[in-house]
Amino acid sequence: MKLLTFLMTIILTVSLQTAVSQSSSKFSTNTFINDKGDTLRYRQLFPDADTLRRFPLVIFLHGSGERGNDNEAQLKWGVMNFASDENMIRYPAFVIAPQCPSNISWSNFDRDRNSTQMKLQPSPTKPMQLLIELIDKLKKTLRVDTTRIYITGLSMGGFGTYDAIMRYPKLFAAAVPVCGGGDVSKAPSIAHIPIWIFHGAEDPSVNPVYSLEMLQALTKAGAHPGFTQYPEVGHFSWLGAYSDPLMLEWLFRQRK
């Protein structure tokens, strides 16, 4: 019985690795260089459709553990769900997964160490600025439906998602921050954006209070955000969030 279990584990592991490898190969490897010579590495998924119509653009922001310059680690969590055969058929879209360099972040919040309060700083981080420049370029060079630009991210990318929509509230049609947080004082400026918040109730890395306070601030500002808090789940709430068919169906029907 132990031998059978061991063999089944090996087979399952090989199958999962093969599936990930196949999905990874669907993402082209790209580098964006702006006029100043600054560089942002990213991976791109193209819609499987040979038509003249326009497609949504999904921006996926990874967590702190996937920072670097290999242009590969950012595909580890979450974004692969957009590349499954089923989802590429149901929700054809351009998907951009940029990689944040080491020792820097997507977001620029001044955090109060004694509370969960944060304040959005005037200037974006360089990776965020480069990302916005990249989006502007893609809007001109790809068949992007500019009424359907979505942004999502996990952990550090969840904070980055809030940062992006707070700085550029007219750009995005919807946002899905996963185990992140933002400046609650900016809630009125993003109350018009459809948002679905996800968090694990027992997250030891990012306090669930960040999401709860943002939910309260958005609701007070007149918004109607979605909110999912998984019981008995820690930091890996993105496993449930990006596997949720209702979330994907909701996301892709949002328009500005």
Ranges of each domain in the chain:
27-48+55-252
> Where does 27-48+55-252 sit in CATH, by number?
3.40.50.1820
- Is the pLDDT at 14 greater than 90, yes or no? no
Rounded to whole angstroms, the Cα distance separating 175 from 195 reads: 5
Amino acid at 46: F
CA distances from 74 to 100, 174, 216 (A): 9, 21, 31
Q: What is the pLDDT of residue 114?
A: 76
Q: What is the pLDDT of residue 18?
A: 45
pLDDT over 70 (residue 9) = no
- Judged against a pLDDT cut of 90, whether residue 22 lies above it is answered with no
Tell me which of 53 and 165 has the higher pLDDT.
165
Give residue 115's pLDDT.
Answer: 75
- 100: confidence class by pLDDT, cuts 50, 70, 90: very high
pTM above 0.85, yes or no: yes
pLDDT score of 10 more than 80: no
Confidence band, pLDDT 50/70/90 cuts, at residue 23: low
Mean pLDDT of 40-49: 92
Q: What's the pLDDT tens digit per position in 78-97?
A: 999 999 999 999 999 999 99
In whole angstroms, how far apart are CA 100 and each of 35, 55, 150, 191? 19, 25, 18, 27
The set of residues, in sequence order, having a beta carbon less than 8 Å from that of 110 and lying 6+ positions away, is 118, 119, 121
